[in-house]
Structure 1
């Protein structure tokens, strides 16, 4: 288990037991009943790679991005879509990937999801040009870093009514200019590729929104890092567009298509975040469970005290239920992908994924916080991963839409269901 460099005050016997290998052993006992035979084999192979290849290379004093090629060479930058000969794939496998990587290193998985899924998904689903296909291959291989630029300084929850301008060139080239600013761009300060949105008419964003692929090196593209204390190894920043000329081959969605593409991608985004959040919950819950089983006070193991054992049992029940719901959300995503014409199903799935994302990300924060209280002061140090899990859970709860936005979307789905009896 990696540390940031602080003094080690953990009991030696406890430290020897709280390893990633043991975390996976306990995790597997809980998770395998949810899995098919193929999913089980995929998970065990992934865990072996994490333990033997990824974890030994983790340096907590470095940013996470040097690990991307290591994930990419084994097809672990994403498993939502097919890439080369890496099989199997699908949202359920992506969920397993996110959970296992979050147990090993939650900051790494946060950055991976943004580059390997959020930035990749529009290119896979809507990319047509050779330039877009090249970017897609770079992201899937982990050779390059991707990000997605939606949030603006004055447009957070109100993302549709964005102020970033897409100005159509009048020379007949089909190119567009981009002017504006995005903020809270995860991976942005170090990204090579930027999936970006802008509108030609602020009064008609739905009908005029463009979705484009910007590249590091484009004249007028500038990035700066924000001070996000929770995830020091992940760069989150401000992205500036100063009259950037975007070639036609880098336009993923033309006027109006950008809006449709944006919202089609949100369910994939939220469902993947569910997996990351579940991994954080399992990381904190199992770490605390092992610690409480070995730590003694008053000549008794902590687990012998109901004040400790009961809360841990409740946490495990909660994360088991949330995991079941998460896999159901993944199954529904795959079902919708096969029947995109079923509009009612698509809308319901959007609400379902939002509700599950709300539950899973909130649970990750709650379990990590409560487990700190149960294990005591050492839970706030780098001797355990609980504090890191807590900090990353804060980010997981806000990305993809804050928890109140998720509840708003669930409410809208409920209202649409009530129309059935009008």
Structure 2
């Protein structure tokens, strides 16, 4: 029976978001990707291109001067930017990661004080959870925040902070009651780059996403007014985990875009490269590599988009879907980029073609915002709690 309605089709507005983002990335991001990787420098020209189109922080609501693009549209933006340059895709991804705690729990004053600058592109927002001895075990953080009159004094070190030193604002998680631990003993604060006592370590020398600086953030008796607290005292760890439920979707989208970029490059190469008198795309061995990649990308895209829709609605099974999308898409991206290097053979192993960069970039998506081993623990836990599907 035909009703004239297709129940399984994205509205045209998402196709428009994809098309507009791809146009911007083809012209203003992709041309700078190799240089950002080779020089390990923040891609200022790519940032300018994204800012000009309101794609640098598309998730910020219109109320605060943003584009007001929903979670699914933001995932599509990140996917398309990652297809061109994984480092540049961390601009919208990390702006969302850093500012989402404000959107979830911040006071209206905090939102109006900090979000407009991010929406306009004057500032970026980073997220400070991990520490030298507290990675997957984030509850073991030692950074302290001690109340002193009407101020909080922060001391500690945060590690693996994306865009450290470039971002103006930082969501910092710190222990406010050591006796309570994760359940009531951790709080979240907004720290500004210019606050006295804030400094940064040397950028890490990384395998991939080299155009996105990663460094330690040092907090040496940083005094903050009481109104820099995000949400309630003691609710920081819960806020950190809720934030990651939403932003794991952005990592899935990033991985998806990297994989799509590699498949696009390898497909074009296979159609042109000739051996034994015909294009290598005519050989079954190559066809199978391309076909497997296409299937995995299609599956990852459906899972990622479903998770993004659940993020927008705040569904009860978001934790499961966010972890599953991030884990599946990043594992697929690592396999696909490796296989696409194989399609290009010796050329794929050189910097003359982008797939070797994409293979290096893909690896981090299996690690950050929770390793894929941790994601599997989360998935299994949600199954046992009856909160999957």
TM-score w.r.t. structure 1 length?
0.83
Q: How far apart are residue 132 of structure 1 and its match?
A: 4.7
Q: Does 1:97 find its partner at 2:102?
A: no
Q: 1:74 aligns with which of 46, 53, 64?
A: 53
Checking the alignment, whether the CA contact within 8 Å between 1:274 and 1:356 is kept in structure 2 is yes
Q: Is the 8 A contact 2:59 2:66 kept in 1?
A: no
Match in the other structure for 1:143: 122
* SS of corresponding position for 2:58: coil
Report the 3-state secondary structure (helix = DSSP H, G, I; strand = E; otherwise coil) of the residue aligned with 1:207: coil
Q: Does 1:166 align with 2:145?
A: yes
Number of the residue aligned with 1:187: 163
Question: Offset at 1:408?
Answer: 0.4
SS at match of 2:294: helix
Distance change >3 Å, CA 53–CA 228, structure 1 → 2:
closer
> Which shows bigger deviation, 34-43 or 93-102?
34-43
Aligned counterpart for 1:310 among listed residues 268, 284, 288:
288
Question: What SS does the aligned partner of 1:189 have?
Answer: coil
Distance (Å, rounded) in 2 between the aligned partners of 1:78 and 1:228: 25
Deviation at 1:65, TM superposition (A): 4.1
User: Alpha-carbon deviations, 1:369-414, whole Å to 9, x = none?
Assistant: 1111121121122222111111111112211100000000001011
Q: Does 1:350 align with 2:327?
A: no
Aligned to 1:199: 175
Quick one: which of 10, 13, 27 aligns to 1:38? 13
- Match of 1:376, SS state, is helix
Partner of 1:126: 105
Q: What TM-score do you get using the length of structure 2 for normalisation? A: 0.90
Contact 2:29 2:85 in 1 (8 A): no
Equivalent residue for 1:294? 272
Q: Which residue of 1 aligns with 2:256?
A: 278
| Structure 1 counterpart of 2:186 | 209
Could you list the runs of 5+ residues in structure 2 that have no partner in the other structure?
Answer: 1-7
1:106 aligns with 2:86: yes
Alpha-carbon spacing, 1:38–1:355, altered in 2? closer, same or farther (3 Å): same
Partner of 1:375: 344
Asked if the contact 1:139/1:145 (under 8 Å) is kept, the reply is yes
* Residue 57 (structure 1) shift: 6.2
Matched positions, count: 374
* Aligned counterparts of 1:142 and 1:102: Cα–Cα separation in 2: 19
Give CA-to-partner distance per residue, 1:17-61, whole Å, 9 cap, x none: xxxxxxxxxxxxxxxx95321111222222223334444566534
Question: CA separation in 2, counterparts of 1:164 and 1:216?
Answer: 17
* Range moving further from structure 2, 254-263 or 129-138: 129-138
Aligned residues of 1:189 and 1:238 also touching (Cα < 8 A): no
**Structure 2: distance between partners of 1:55 and 1:292:** 21
Question: What is the match of residue 223 of structure 1?
Answer: 200
Q: Report the Cα distance in structure 1 between the residues aligned to 2:143 and 2:65, rounded to whole angstroms.
A: 39
Contact kept in structure 2, 1:368 and 1:386, CA below 8 Å: yes
**Distance in 2, Cα, partners of 1:40 & 1:232:** 30
In structure 2, C-alpha distance between the alignment counterparts of 1:284 and 1:350, rounded to whole Å: 29
Q: What's the Cα RMSD here? A: 2.1
- C-alpha deviation, 1:355, in angstroms: 1.2
CA distance in 2, matches of 1:380, 1:298: 22
Three-state SS of the structure 2 residue aligned to 1:202 is: coil
**Structure 1 unmatched ranges of 5 or more:** 1-32, 337-344
Greater shift after overlay, 50-59 or 89-98? 50-59
Partner SS state of residue 76, structure 2: helix
- For residues 163-220 of structure 1, the C-alpha deviation after alignment (integer angstroms, 9 at most, x for no partner) is 1111111x2x1x2111111111111132211110011223312212110011112111
Equivalent in the alignment of 1:51:
26
Paired residue secondary structure (1:63): coil
1: CA distance between counterparts of 2:205 and 2:88?
Answer: 18
2:157 alignment partner, SS class = strand
| Cα distance change, pair 226–49 in 1 and its aligned pair in 2 (3 A) | closer
* Secondary structure of the structure 1 residue equivalent to 2:107: coil
SS in 2 for 1:245: strand
Q: For residues 209 and 252 of structure 1, do their structure 2 counterparts lie closer, same or farther at Cα, with a shift above 3 Å needed?
A: same
